[in-house]
Structure 1
């Protein structure tokens, strides 16, 4: 059963809903991932060409894993029942594990409805419920819009930077939001 706070967040906008990916939604994951790379190739850690070369079974396996794992999840945004966005949430597998949101994307036609905010809030809530005190996000330095978006949600730069995995000539910066309670996500 979904906690009350997560139900409230998931219904923030009357035309938008968010739910955790279901095991059989590999094709939806692939569709949204490739759409995100077509629309904003500079913002993610892979290229459209790489994503198109991946076997559909990989997306099926990823959806199944993200549907049931205690360490990682994908949340899908819907408008009137149609998938239109996604975000990943995960907890590092390391001694001082950090929690992250990543690969946030919302279709341009519905961005004005605040779906990105809804996705990050639901994913952050899930991370808090799994023990996170902070939520992190790597953001491409070139993506000023994403930086402003995360800052509006209470994230701030940590000062850590690294080369982007698929575009080593470009950098990304680490942002963090300190979570004080499950209600604040």
Structure 2
């Protein structure tokens, strides 16, 4: 498995994997307009934070959007839009994303992720990786009956994100 950060010219790879993710797990993602985007919107999306993909050969098998919030500490990042191809789940893709982040941006000390209530498989996966609840909860914009909770993972020089335990 190879992990890489997409460049703007990789917009077609992002489009392909995001549309697969939306088709596979439509309830897990807020984005609904991406299906109608053209090249300019996809290029802009690639420029917005770091889109990290996992490849098995030429096939993209997972994606995560890693962003820094303007109102958040400089050493904190958020994982968003995380998706792993169903055939590659529980094979260490999310763990590989974490390892890549630690190597790619060693200044990051905290990683955050929002988990939708009811997405028990994702919650269990993140908890196995060491994420803990922050106690922060919020309704989804435009879907107030859906609620998400923020989880946090403290990273440090001793953090071992290469532990072979599989995730969902």
Normalised-by-shorter TM-score class:
0.7 to 0.9
1:87 and 1:32 map into 2 onto residues whose CA distance is: 10
Name the structure 2 match of 1:69.
none
1:90 equivalenced with 2:67 (yes/no): yes
TM, length-normalised to structure 2:
0.84
1:32 to 6, 17, 20: 17
Unaligned segments of structure 1, at least 5 residues: 1-15, 67-71
The structure carrying a bigger strand percent of its residues is 2
Name the structure 2 match of 1:81.
58
Name the structure 1 match of 2:44.
61
1:122 to 100, 105, 113: 100
Report SS of the residue matched to 1:102: strand
1:164 equivalenced with 2:140 (yes/no): yes
1:183 offset after TM fit, Å?
Answer: 5.4
Listed one character per residue, the Cα deviations across residues 89-138 of structure 1 (whole Å, up to 9, x for unaligned) are 111112645421111111111224221221233235444x2x32211001
TM, length-normalised to structure 1:
0.77
Q: How many aligned positions are there? A: 160
Name the structure 2 match of 1:140.
116
Unaligned segments of structure 2, at least 5 residues: 162-168
User: Contact conserved, 1:46 with 1:165, CA < 8 A, in 2?
Assistant: no
**Does the C-alpha gap of structure 1 residues 145 and 116 become closer, same or farther in structure 2, counting only changes over 3 Å?**
same
The structure carrying a bigger helix percent of its residues is 1
RMSD: 2.0
